[in-house]
């Protein structure tokens, strides 16, 4: 299975991609996570990416395409791969087509929800500094406030989850990424899943869509 999880910031792509890839033993390739790791490591890519991420904009295509090409060449991607947050522009989608010459994509799962839901989810999100697990202060609260259920690490709020940056990310999504909905529709790869439901319901809809696409 080679699938893209597409959708606006905060809709739950990362939450769903982590669960689906773990269940099936597929690689979870999140450009947001890879870029945050590069920022934390203060690598040249991280130093370049940070200014765009802090402002809520997109990191330049050539930077993101390079890290995705490198990641896809690793052996664990051979069993299956879920791309989370990539592609985000038509140029990235075209680069992905070239990188996946052998058979291309099986599905693009477009998870969607309204801005009010997205803003609530992003402003309440908390992430574990140690293992990256994602929580929400209301809908997925940790058992012990401020601490990760999985490893006991400290939970923090992402810098780009402040209200002003959230609004800019939503604008950037509409301006630069939403065009991919039509791009994949005409290629008959797009399956839309309503994201404004409970995590388990969204998960069931995604599993059903992936199973159907695997048969075609
Ligand atoms: P990235 O990390 O990819 O950010 P994003 O796309 O904005 O997505 P998010 O991680 O914010 O949200 P999500 O949809 O994964 O939601 P989540 O599951 O966490 O990218 C960050 C930045 O990196 C970008 O702004 C850009 O600068 C750069 N970048 C990354 N990729 C790039 C690319 N390809 N090109 C250029 N630049 C790139 O859920 C959100 C919250 O909601 C959580 O708290 C969760 O617990 C909760 N939640 C999830 N589902 C539900 C549900 N069904 N019900 C209730 N709560 C839920």
Q: Does the C-beta of 58 come closer than 6 Å to ligand 1?
A: yes
Atom 29, ligand 1: residue with shortest CA distance: 32
- % of the chain at pLDDT higher than 70: 100
User: For residue range 23-75, what is the model confidence (pLDDT) as tens digits?
Assistant: 999 999 999 999 999 999 999 999 999 999 999 999 999 999 999 999 999 99
Asked if pLDDT for residue 123 goes beyond 90, the answer is yes
Verify whether ligand 1 is closer than 6 Å to residue 134 (CB atom): yes
31 CA closest ligand 1 atom index: 31
Query: Which pLDDT score, from 0 to 100, does residue 215 have?
Result: 78
Position 102 pLDDT exceeds 90: no
Q: Ligand 1: which residue has its CA nearest to atom 44?
A: 125
The closest alpha carbon to 14, from 1, 28, 27, belongs to: 28
| Contact by Cβ (8 Å): 168, 56 | yes
Q: Which are the catalytic amino acids?
A: 13, 88, 125, 158, 169
Structural domains in the chain?
2-113+177-215 (3.40.50.300)
3-class DSSP string for the chain: CEEEEECCCCCCHHHHHHHHHHHHCCEEEEHHHHHHHHHHCCCHHHHHHHHHHHHCCCCCHHHHHHHHHHHHCCHHHHHCEEEECCCCCHHHHHHHHHHCCCCCCCEEEEEECCHHHHHHHHHCEEEECCCCCEEECCCECCCCCCECCCCCCEEECCHHHCHHHHHHHHHHHHHHHCHHHHHHHCCCCEEEEECCCCHHHHHHHHHHHHHHHHHC
Substitution site in 15, 89, 115 for ligand 1 pocket (most atoms within 8 Å of beta carbon): 15
Residue 95 Cβ < 6 Å to ligand 1:
no
């Amino acid at each position: 299975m080679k699938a893209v999880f597409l959708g606006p910031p905060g809709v739950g792509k990362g939450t769903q991609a982590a669960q689906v890839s773990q269940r099936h033993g597929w690689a979870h390739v999140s450009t947001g996570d890879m870029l945050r790791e590069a920022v934390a490591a203060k690598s040249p890519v991280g130093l370049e990416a940070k200014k765009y991420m802090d402002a809520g904009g997109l990191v330049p295509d050539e930077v993101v395409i390079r890290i995705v090409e490198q990641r896809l060449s690793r052996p664990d991607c051979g069993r299956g791969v879920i791309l989370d947050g990539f592609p985000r522009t038509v140029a990235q989608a075209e680069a992905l087509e070239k990188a996946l010459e052998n058979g291309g994509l099986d599905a693009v799962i477009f998870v969607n929800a309204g801005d009010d839901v997205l803003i609530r989810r992003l402003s309440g999100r908390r992430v574990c500094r140690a293992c990256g697990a994602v929580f929400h202060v209301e809908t997925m609260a940790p058992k012990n406030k401020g601490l990760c259920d999985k490893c006991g690490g400290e939970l923090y709020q992402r810098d780009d989850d402040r209200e002003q940056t959230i609004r800019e990310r939503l604008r950037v999504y509409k301006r630069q990424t939403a065009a991919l909905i039509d791009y994949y529709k005409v290629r008959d790869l797009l399956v839309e899943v309503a994201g404004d439901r409970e995590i388990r319901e969204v998960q069931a809809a995604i599993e059903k869509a992936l199973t159907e696409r695997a048969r075609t």
